[in-house]
Structure 1
Amino acid sequence: MNYAGPTEETPAYEGLDLVPFQGLRYDPERVGSLAAVTSPPYDVVVRPDGLLHLESADPHNIVRLILPQDTTPDVRNRQAAATLRQWLAEGVLTTDSAPALYVYEQRDGGLLQRGVIGALRLSEPSDGVVLPHEDVMPHVVADRAALMRATSANLEPLLLTYRGDGSATGAAAVVERTARREPLLATTTEDGFSHRLWAVTDPADLAEIRTDLARHQALIADGHHRWATCLRLRTEHPSPSPWDYGLVLLVDTARHPLRVRAIHRLLHRLPVSEALDAVSPHFRVRHLDVPLGEALAALASAAADGNAFLLAGDGAFHLLDRPSADLLARTVPADRPEAWRSLDATVLHAALLQHVWHVPEDSPEHIAYIHDTAATVEKAERDGGTAVLMHPVREEVVRDLARQGVMMPRKSTSFGPKPASGLVLRALTP
């Protein structure tokens, strides 16, 4: 049975309510390698060459489900659903015999991240249980919802964080005990990260995790659009049902702090020369004829003193800082906390995109949001657009604003490492 939800013996909690589910996992004997069937999250795979690379790595790569390719959205979604059914029928994907929570570990050199994958009861932001911190783009939510309806599955987990007390008790104790056992799977992806996964099925361990997490709230670190998608689809299905839950990875950042990186902007139809002409009356502009690493260091230094951005696309870098007080007073809404008003993403969207460059932030024809710094610069140079490179926001700023119920501009942050897609899926129908 794939239904994941409370029974009469396991009442729902007011805080985080994480329950086990029967995971769908690749049969290692039916694929080339586990690494070859994984993918970064759908919104990180931004370049056609990256998509083709993943598709060619193995005919069963998860990207064929999370980013199906065809002529229209309806055809793509039907194709993903048919592919999922085929893989299940052929035994490429198999259902675990018992409901479980899954301890998941990622390691890269000195970085170690461990968390728990499970089915989390959905809640509205007003409930104060799961805190979003970014706005979402309606067309992306609609696209993800259509795919989830077609496949009737959670294809990749969201990344959520919570703050434990730092001790190895409760959920943390179960995670550490479990990680000393032989894993269900272990693989190393081409980015150098090693991944290990364990199933937790012991009733006492499951109860210990669930009881501990019920005392906490979580911050959405990655997956705002997938969370909004789950909330939308929940309203389409009478409760109780599997649609009351979403697939998440929960990480205790008191024990395993995440990295916070920026998400950059690519302005397709704005050449660098036009961007600089329009912005020069409002920002100090310095031209940097240096490699990318040195340009990013200059951006970090400038960002320590205020809003700063790095433009690229014409073979050089251009550092914008010291915005005019008049521009900010005219364009940045005054009815929000100062921490929000001073965010780089706020100034970028409110002042630069809307008033200086007149770029519609909801139009994929005009703007793309890209995680990879070098890829953003390369694409801007190749296509004649403008790359806007951002400096990351500190996690404590994000969490503080989220607790106040203040939404940051969309795609303001990139928390990581993100869970690899393809290690465990969750079916929403038997």
Structure 2
Amino acid sequence: MITGTAGVSPVRLLHPDPETARQDSRLTELGWVPSGRDLLAPPAVYAVELDSPVARVRGVVAAWEVLDPPAGGGLVPHEQTDARAVRRRVRALRTAHLDRDPLLLTHRGGGAVRRAVDATATPVYEVTDRQRHVRVLQLPDDAGQEVLGLLTGEDYLVADGHHRLAAAAQLRAEGVASQVTALVVDADDTPLVLGPIHRVLLDEQGRDRVDEAMVASVLDRCSGAGALVVEHDDAEAGDASVVLVHGARRWTVTWPERPRTDVTTLVEHVLDDTARSRTRREPDTRVATAAAEHGALTCLLPPPDLDEVLALARRGALLPYKATAFEPKLPPGSLVRPLPAWTPRS
């Protein structure tokens, strides 16, 4: 469940010069407290505006109580996780005692939060990180409580941060920390850009080359899984079909349902069962297509639809690991929340 934003400490992203930030009397008046090299934020509600080449979004920073399962607290995952990645995340949290990668959540809120933020928020920091420009706003207590009230009681799709959430659930089970930080973006206000993560089939040495026999095997497996496979000279990934590319040849692969059946069947029942090969995940369409030109078999996936992903997640179904790419994301270290120190299990 949402619990507010107490304890969130924006450090690295929000000001590239901590010394200058500590001398900012405006921040002191707003309740910010210097602590070593950090500048700790007071308990309040914060909004973040993020400009990138991909999109402009606005979100509200929130701390979430992690429940098991997460849906019990309003967090709805949509992708499977990799156990090794979760273990790495847990080790990082244990070592640094910092939560430095917020979840990225999205929902359809009708733009209600924007009105409260526009009317009352005070700009705190503004900084450019590479190609991303971030502006942070602090809300007064009464407006902050109004915003938290608007956010309470809804379901929020975990757009990015499934491994962070799984790590938080593990730490909660150990009695260490029970909250996770999140940036909540209203898709009716400033929607995230939702794209696919394509699959590139390589040979067993990981090179961009597969032979014609392997291509034929994948096509046969797609047909055997119920897909309509048609070769086209100029096929492009569209709303309803996967496109397989090998050299100069292209095939559209269409299942009766889209796009969930496409990615799940393709990844779990076709590519993962293909012998003498490796599969690489690639969010960049140009890179994925270039790999096919060099001899790999590239599977260009259609762009998912947010409402279909939401419906799927609410039913408790999960897409394969790394099936979607939501953009833009905050850079690592954008919102740093100190965690209590603890003694790792022996």
Q: Which residue of 1 aligns with 2:156?
A: 218
Whether the aligned pair in 1 keeps the contact of 2:127 and 2:134 (CA below 8 Å) is yes
Alignment CA distance shift 1:375-1:197 (3 Å):
farther
* Alpha carbons of structure 1 residues 379 and 146: separation in structure 2 relative to 1, 3 Å: farther
Between Structure 1 and Structure 2, the one with more helix by share is 1
Alignment of structure 1 residues 118-133 onto 2, 5 Å: 118-123=62-67, 124-127=69-72, 129-133=74-78
> Is the contact between residue 23 and residue 99 of structure 1 (CA under 8 Å) also seen in structure 2?
no
Change (3 A) 1:225 1:163: same
Match of residue 320, structure 1, among 229, 251, 258: 251
Secondary structure of the 1:148 match is helix
Deviations 1:87-146 (A, max 9, x none): x86x2xx13252233211123479431111222111224516111111111111111111
Q: Does the aligned pair in 2 maintain the 1:353–1:359 contact within 8 Å?
A: no
Q: For 1:49-128, what aligned pairs fall within 5 Å after superposition?
A: 91=37, 94-108=38-52, 111-123=55-67, 124-127=69-72
* 1:235-254 deviation per Cα after TM superposition (whole angstroms, max 9, x unaligned): 1125xxxx111011001112
Q: Are 2:54 and 2:327, in contact at CA under 8 Å, matched by a contact in 1? A: no
> In 2, are the aligned partners of 1:359 and 1:367 still within 8 Å (CA)?
no
Q: State whether residues 299 and 309 of structure 1, in contact with CA within 8 Å, keep that contact through their aligned partners in structure 2.
A: yes
Which deviations, in whole Å up to 9, do the C-alpha atoms of 1:368-412 show, x marking residues without a partner? 323223344456777x65443222111111001111112222222
Task: Find 1:159's aligned residue among 104, 115, 130.
Answer: 104
Q: Which amino acid aligns with 1:156?
A: D
Describe the shift of the 1:347–1:236 C-alpha distance in structure 2 as closer, same or farther (beyond 3 A).
Answer: same
Match of 2:115 among 164, 169, 173: 173
- Mapped partners of 1:129, 1:317: distance in 2: 46
How big is each residue's C-alpha offset from its partner over 1:321-367, in whole Å with a ceiling of 9 and x where there is no partner?
246xxxx8xxxxxxxxx858952211212331144x2479xxxxx33
Asked whether 1:144 is paired with 2:89, we answer: yes
1:197 aligns with 2:136: yes
Match of 2:237 in 1: 300
Bigger strand fraction: 2
| Partner Cα separation in structure 2 for residue 117 and residue 345 of structure 1 | 31
The C-alpha deviation readout for 1:54-104, integer Å capped at 9, x for no partner, is: xxxxxxxxxxxxxxxxxxxxxxxxxxxxxxxxxx86x2xx13252233211
Is this contact kept in 2: 1:101–1:118, CA < 8 A?
yes
| Alignment of 1:370 onto 2:291 | no
Aligned pair 1:343/2:261, yes or no?
yes
Measured in 1, the distance between the counterparts of 2:244 and 2:284 equals: 14
**2:5 matched to 1:19?**
yes
1:155-211 residue CA offsets vs partner (Å, 9 max, x unmatched):
111110122133x4xx333322356x4x322233443x42211233x3212211222
Q: CA RMSD in A?
A: 3.1
- Contact 1:113–1:256 (CA<8 Å) still a contact in 2? yes
Report the CA distance shift for 1:184/1:161 in structure 2 as closer, same or farther (over 3 A).
same
Gaps of 5+ in 1: 1-14, 32-87, 289-294, 329-337, 361-365
CA distance in 1, matches of 2:181, 2:276: 34
Aligned-pair CA distance for 1:268: 4.0
Q: Does 1:278 align with 2:209?
A: no
SS at match of 1:284: strand
- The equivalent position to 2:299 in structure 1, one of 383, 388, 393, is 388
In structure 2, distance between residues paired with 1:340 and 1:408: 13
Q: Give the distance between the partners of 1:417 and 1:389, measured in 2 at CA.
A: 21
Equivalenced residue count is: 312
Normalising to structure 2: TM-score of the pair? 0.78
Contact 1:120-1:246 within 8 A present in 2 as well? yes
Residues 318 and 285 of structure 1, relative CA distance in 2, 3 Å threshold: farther
Q: 1:28 aligns with which of 5, 16, 35?
A: 16
Q: 1:187 aligns with which of 80, 103, 127?
A: 127
Does 2:147 align with 1:229?
Answer: no
- Say if 1:20 and 1:206 are closer, same or farther in 2 by CA, change over 3 A: farther
Structure 1 length-normalised TM: 0.64
Q: Secondary structure at the match of 2:167?
A: helix
- Give aligned-pair identity as a percent: 28
For structure 2, the 5+ residue unaligned runs are 20-34, 342-346
Contact 2:10 2:39 in 1 (8 A): yes
DSSP-derived class of the 1:25 partner: coil
SS in structure 1 of the partner of residue 203 of structure 2: coil
Q: Does 1:208 align with 2:146?
A: yes
Note closer, same or farther for the CA distance 1:389–1:420 as it changes in structure 2 (3 Å cut). Answer: same
Question: Offset of 1:266 from its aligned partner?
Answer: 3.3
Matches of 1:373 and 1:127 in 2, distance apart? 36
